[in-house]
C-alpha cells in the first residue's frame, strides 16, 4: 500500500483527508516495458493510471496526440465511458500507480471538482479551476492601498478669501472642495458650505471662507488599506479624507472615487486620461494601466474581460495623446486607428506599436504638420512604454499614414498582387479599430477588402495558409511538450497556439464578410451563419483565453523581476493542471487547423 502518493498534483489536490485515505487504500503500483500497451481502443479500463516514472504516449492511429509524464494521470474519460478510444503506449519504461475504477467512481460521486478536473472537456476544467480561485477578487481588493486610488489635487486658499473668489477657484479647478489655511489651522470647504451660504442670503463677496470651513480634518496615510479609508468615512460620516504623508498633504480621497475604485478601477484611469493637459500626465496614467491589469489578474478577472477593458483604456489614452499632439485641422481630417492584438481587444501587457492614419482626401493640412504630429505621437507612445514596431507599422512611417484614396489603392494592391509582405500587412490591417477622428475614413478603406475578396477562392487560400507559418511537426515545441520535457521547454504561445486560432478565425471571417475585429466576436458571427459548430467555437475561445492568461501570468512575473516581457512561458514552472490544460488547448488548435485546411482546400501539413 504506497504511502508516497503525491496529493499535490491535479486533480488529487482537491481531495479531503477522507478521500485521500480512499486513494491510499485502493492504489497499487504497476510496471510496463517500453513499447507495451497500457490501454487499447475498445478495451474496458479497470484503473486510473498516475505516472510515477517514465512517459506514456496517447496515440490516435499513428499520431501522438498527448503525452503523460510523472504526476500526470490518464484515462479518466475512458473510465467514465466504459471503454478506451485511444491507444496508450509506454514510450519508455514506466512505473505507474493504478487506482481502482470503483474508487475513482466513489471519488467522483463525493467530489464534483475532482470529477470535472479528471475527465471533463477543456471548458469544464477551466470552470472548475475558476471555482477554486473564486475568492481571489476580494482578497486582491483588500490588498489595495489609498495611493492606488484616484486622489484629487488639494488646492489651498487662505481663510480670509471671500466665498465669491473661493467659488471661482473651485470652478477653475473642477473641484467640489478646497483646503483652507487659517493661521496654524488647516480646514476644508466643500460645495455643501457654499449651498449654506447661498441659502442664508448674505453677500458672498463679504463672507470669508474660514467661517464656513471645517477644521476637524479626517486624515489617512497613502499606504493605508483602502478598506480602512472606507471604514473612516463611515465612522466619521464624511465624504472625503485628506491624504497626508508625514505632514505633507498628498491629495483628497473622495468617497465616490473610493467606491468607484472598488467597483471599477478603469473608470478612475479614464477620468485622469480625459482630463490630462499634457503628455507627462498621460505617461503617469499609462503606468497605471499595467498595475491595473495586474490587480485584475490577481483578482481572478477573466482574461477576455481584461482584454476589453485594456482596449478601452488604451483607446482613450491614444485618443487623448493624438488630441494633444495634432492641431484641430488634422484632428478633423483624419482617422487614427490601431491594429493587431490592440485592434482585436486581445492585448494585455504593452506590446509593439501597431497603428496607422487615414487622411481625408483634399485636406488643407500640410504634409509637414502631419509628419510632425505623427512623429510626436509615436515618440509619446514610446515614452508610455509601447515600443516601436520592428516592422515600422506605425504612423511615424509614411507608408502607414496616407490619404483615403491612396490607402485604398494600397489595399487593392495587397489583394491583387499578394506577396508575403502584402498578405502580412493585410492581415494586420483587417484587425484595424478606429480610436480617434472620423471613423468613416477607415471604414471606407476597409470596404475595399470586401469588394475584392468575395469570389477569389485562390486568394483566400493563400491568405489562410499562414496558419502553418509556425509548423508544429518534427522536433518542435509540440513534440517536446508531448515527450514531457517540461523543465527544458520554453514555449512561444503566440506562435504555438494563439496565432493559428486568431488567423484561422480571421480568414474564415474575411471569407464570410464578418466585420467584427475581435476573435470572440468573429467566432460568434461564424456560428450564427452556420460556418462553425458551437462546441468548437467554445473550445477555441477557452483555448485562446487560457493561453492569453498563461502569457499574462508569465509577463507579470517577468515585470516583477525587473525583466522585459519576452512573451514566452516555461512549462517547468507550470502546475500539472496547467500543463494538462495546455495540452488540451493545443489539441484544440490542431483540430481547428485541420478544419481550416479543409475549408480552404489547403494541402495537409
DSSP 496: I
Overall average pLDDT of the 65-69 stretch: 74
pLDDT of amino acid 432: 93
Q: Which domain does 420 fall in, by range?
A: 266-453
Kindly tell me if the per-residue pLDDT of 494 is higher than 50.
Answer: yes
| Pair (467, 584) in one structural domain | yes
| Distance, CA of 479 to CA of 485 (rounded, Å) | 9
The three cell numbers locating residue 488:
527544458
- Of the candidates 129, 159, 184, the one whose C-alpha atom is nearest the C-alpha of residue 11 is 129
271/420 same-domain check: yes
In whole angstroms, what separates CA 590 from the centre of its chain? 23
If asked whether residues 532 and 583 sit together in one domain, one would say yes
> What is the C-alpha R_g of the chain?
30
> What's the N-to-C CA distance of the chain in angstroms?
48
Which of the pair, 134 or 263, is modelled with greater confidence?
263
What pLDDT is attached to residue 222? Answer: 92
- The H or E element containing residue 507 is helix 499-511
Q: For residues 5 and 207, what is the distance between their CA atoms, to the nearest angstrom?
A: 80
Binned at pLDDT 50, 70 and 90, residue 443 comes out as very high
H helix or E strand, kind and range, residue 319:
helix 303-325
Residue 335 has pLDDT above 50, yes or no: yes
Helix 576-599 vs helix 499-511: angle between axes, to the nearest 10 degrees?
A: 30
Environment class of 80 (CB within 10 Å of its CB; exposed 0-12, middle 13-18, buried 19+): middle
Distance of alpha carbon 482 from alpha carbon 9, whole angstroms: 18
What are the Cα distances from residue 54, in Å, to 387, 449, 511? 44, 52, 46
Q: What does the block give as the cell for 54?
A: 517514465
Q: How far apart are CA 583 and CA 66, in angstroms?
A: 7
247 found inside a domain = no
CATH number at residue 93: 2.60.120.10
Model confidence pLDDT, tens digit, residues 357-371: 999 999 999 999 999
Q: Is residue 7 part of a domain?
A: no
Residues 446 and 470 in one domain: no
In a domain, 178, yes or no: no
Q: Grid coordinates 467522483 are at which residue?
A: 108
- Per-residue cell: 15: 481531495
Residue 185 has pLDDT above 80, yes or no: yes
Distances (CA, A) of 592 to 48, 99, 499, 504, 568: 29, 34, 12, 8, 22
In the predicted model, is pLDDT for residue 279 greater than 60? yes
**Region 127-145: what's the mean pLDDT?**
52
Cα(310)–Cα(343) distance, integer angstroms: 11
Per-residue confidence (pLDDT) for residue 605, from 0 to 100: 42
For residue 578, give the CATH number of its domain: 1.20.120
CATH of the domain at 299: 3.30.460.10
- Of 453, 487, 503, the one marking the end of a domain is 453
pLDDT of residue 470: 77
% of the chain residues with pLDDT over 90: 38
Domain membership flag for residue 2: no
Short-list 339, 334, 373, 377, CA closest to 357: 334
Closest alpha carbon to 577 in 71, 60, 64, 51: 71
Higher-confidence position of 109 and 334: 334
The model's confidence at residue 122, banded by pLDDT at 50, 70 and 90, is: low
Whether 305 and 438 share a structural domain: yes
As for how many domains the chain has, the answer is: 3
Specify whether 287 is located in the same domain as 431: yes
**Secondary structure class of 406 (helix, strand, coil):** helix
Query: Does one domain contain both 304 and 427?
Result: yes
More confident position, 572 or 163 = 163
Rounded (10°) angle between helices 265-275 and 303-325: 10
Cα gap 218→366, rounded to integer Å: 55
Of the three residues 421, 453, 485, the one that is the final residue of a domain is 453
Contact of 251 with 243, CB cutoff 8 Å: yes
Exposure letters 463-500 (e unless 16+ CB within 10 A, then b): bbbbbbeeebeeeebbebbbbbebeebebbbbbbbbbb
Question: 445 and 465, same structural domain?
Answer: no
Q: Do residues 435 and 483 both lie within one domain?
A: no
Q: Is the dihedral of CA 420, 405, 353, 346 positive or negative?
A: negative
Residue 4 belongs to some domain of the structure: no
498 belongs to a structural domain: yes
The predicted structure's pLDDT at residue 259:
67
Do 438 and 585 lie in one domain? The reply is: no
With respect to residue 67, please indicate whether it lies within any of the assigned structural domains: yes
Q: What is the spatial distance between Cα 564 and Cα 558, in angstroms, rounded to a whole number?
A: 6
Of 243 and 457, more confident = 243
- Could you tell me if 356 and 398 lie in one domain? yes
C-beta neighbour count of 387 within 10 angstroms? 12
Shared-domain flag, residues 435 and 379:
yes
**Res. 392: pLDDT tops 80:** yes
- Confidence band, pLDDT 50/70/90 cuts, at residue 475: very low
Amino acid at each position: 500500500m504506497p504511502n508516497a502518493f503525491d496529493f499535490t498534483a491535479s486533480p488529487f489536490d482537491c481531495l479531503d483527508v477522507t478521500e485521500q485515505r480512499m486513494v491510499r487504500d485502493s492504489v497499487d503500483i504497476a510496471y510496463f516495458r517500453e513499447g507495451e500497451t497500457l490501454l487499447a481502443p475498445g478495451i474496458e479500463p479497470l484503473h486510473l493510471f498516475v505516472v510515477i516514472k517514465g512517459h506514456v504516449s496517447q496515440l490516435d492511429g499513428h499520431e501522438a496526440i498527448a503525452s503523460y509524464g510523472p504526476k500526470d494521470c490518464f484515462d479518466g474519460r475512458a473510465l467514465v465511458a466504459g471503454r478506451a478510444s485511444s491507444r496508450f503506449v509506454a514510450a519508455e519504461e514506466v512505473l505507474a500507480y493504478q487506482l481502482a475504477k470503483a474508487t475513482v467512481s466513489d471519488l467522483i460521486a463525493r467530489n464534483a471538482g475532482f470529477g470535472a478536473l479528471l475527465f471533463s472537456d477543456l471548458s469544464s476544467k477551466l470552470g472548475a479551476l475558476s471555482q477554486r480561485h473564486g475568492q481571489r477578487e476580494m482578497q486582491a481588493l483588500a490588498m489595495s492601498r489609498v495611493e492606488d486610488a484616484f486622489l484629487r489635487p488639494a488646492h489651498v486658499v487662505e481663510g480670509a478669501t471671500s466665498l465669491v473668489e473661493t467659488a471661482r477657484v473651485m470652478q477653475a479647478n473642477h473641484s467640489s472642495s478646497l483646503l483652507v489655511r487659517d493661521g496654524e489651522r488647516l480646514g476644508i470647504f466643500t460645495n455643501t458650505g457654499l449651498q449654506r451660504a447661498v441659502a442664508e442670503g448674505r453677500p458672498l463677496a463679504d463672507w470669508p471662507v474660514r467661517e464656513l470651513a471645517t477644521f476637524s480634518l479626517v486624515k489617512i496615510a497613502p499606504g493605508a488599506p483602502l478598506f480602512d479609508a472606507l471604514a473612516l468615512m463611515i465612522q466619521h460620516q464624511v465624504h472625503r479624507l485628506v491624504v497626508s504623508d508625514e505632514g505633507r498633504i498628498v491629495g483628497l480621497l473622495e468617497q465616490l472615487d473610493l467606491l468607484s475604485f472598488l467597483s471599477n478601477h478603469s473608470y478612475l484611469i479614464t477620468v485622469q486620461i480625459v482630463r490630462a493637459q499634457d503628455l507627462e500626465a498621460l505617461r503617469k496614467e499609462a503606468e497605471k494601466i499595467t498595475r491595473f491589469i495586474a490587480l485584475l489578474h490577481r483578482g481572478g478577472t477573466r482574461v477576455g474581460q481584461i482584454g476589453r477593458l485594456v482596449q478601452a483604456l488604451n483607446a482613450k489614452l491614444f485618443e487623448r495623446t493624438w488630441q494633444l499632439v495634432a492641431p484641430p485641422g488634422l484632428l478633423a481630417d483624419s482617422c487614427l486607428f490601431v491594429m493587431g492584438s490592440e485592434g482585436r481587444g486581445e492585448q494585455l501587457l504593452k506590446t509593439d506599436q501597431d497603428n496607422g492614419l487615414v487622411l481625408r482626401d483634399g485636406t488643407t493640412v500640410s504634409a509637414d504638420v502631419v509628419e510632425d504630429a505623427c512623429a510626436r505621437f509615436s515618440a509619446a507612445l514610446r515614452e508610455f512604454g509601447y515600443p516601436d514596431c520592428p516592422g515600422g507599422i506605425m504612423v511615424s512611417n509614411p507608408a502607414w499614414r496616407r490619404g483615403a484614396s491612396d490607402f485604398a489603392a494600397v489595399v487593392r494592391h495587397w489583394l491583387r498582387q499578394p506577396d508575403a509582405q502584402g498578405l502580412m500587412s493585410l492581415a494586420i490591417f483587417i484587425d484595424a479599430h478606429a480610436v480617434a477622428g472620423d471613423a468613416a475614413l477607415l471604414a471606407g478603406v476597409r470596404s475595399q477588402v470586401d469588394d475584392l475578396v468575395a469570389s477569389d477562392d485562390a486568394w483566400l487560400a493563400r491568405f489562410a495558409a499562414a496558419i502553418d507559418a509556425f509548423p508544429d511537426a518534427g522536433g518542435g515545441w509540440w513534440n517536446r511538450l508531448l515527450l514531457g520535457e517540461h523543465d527544458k521547454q520554453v514555449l512561444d504561445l503566440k506562435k504555438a497556439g494563439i496565432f493559428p486560432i486568431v488567423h484561422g478565425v480571421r480568414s474564415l471571417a474575411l471569407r464570410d464578410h464578418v466585420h467584427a475585429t475581435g476573435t470572440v466576436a468573429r467566432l460568434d458571427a461564424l456560428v450564427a451563419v452556420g460556418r462553425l459548430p458551437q462546441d468548437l467555437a467554445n473550445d477555441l475561445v477557452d483555448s485562446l483565453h487560457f493561453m492569453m492568461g498563461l502569457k499574462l501570468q508569465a509577463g507579470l512575473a517577468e515585470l516583477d523581476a525587473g525583466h522585459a516581457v519576452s512573451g514566452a512561458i516555461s512549462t517547468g514552472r507550470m502546475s500539472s493542471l496547467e500543463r494538462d490544460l495546455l495540452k488540451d488547448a493545443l489539441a484544440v488548435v490542431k483540430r481547428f487547423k485541420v478544419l481550416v485546411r479543409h475549408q480552404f482546400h489547403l494541402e495537409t501539413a
